[in-house]
Structure 1
Amino acid sequence: MSTIDAKNQAAKARADLAATLDALEDRLNVPKRVSELGSKAVAAYEKNPIPWIIGGVAVAVIAAGLVAWAIFSDDDD
């Protein structure tokens, strides 16, 4: 193998490694992923808000139930 071939292979390997590292950095970019998730959630809500409203009401009922249970439960041991 000639020196030029070895240099070309090394350059290609470096370019492949750089591309792989860039892809990993993009996938592990938490703020970017959170922003994408938020955008998807907003789009889903705008498309059909009914499931979101039902879910919100369910969470509120559960929270109110837990608060009532904590207040009215008999803690006298």
Structure 2
Amino acid sequence: MLTRIGGLLRKAESTDNAHEAEAFLAAAQRLATKSSIDLAVARSHVASRERRSVPVQRIIPIGEPGRKGLRTYVQ
């Protein structure tokens, strides 16, 4: 139930349409009240499960610097 409520809150925060946001927030509030769950608890539950990956930068050496023909490998 925490995941469901958190998903509704995430949808409410990500939409640009005010009517959709209000509808998602009302649905989340209704489910939270019915289940006696705080909205902040549901939001933190979903946030902890959805860790976004961080981009990684890697350097891959191709041949020796200054040698002829490396441009072909890089392209």
TM-score tier by shorter-chain length is 0.3 to 0.5
Q: Looking at CA atoms only, which structure, 1 or 2, has the larger radius of gyration?
A: 1
Larger RCO (CA under 8 A, 6+ residues apart): 2
Compute the TM-score of the two structures, normalised by the length of structure 1: 0.33
Compute the TM-score of the two structures, normalised by the length of structure 2: 0.33
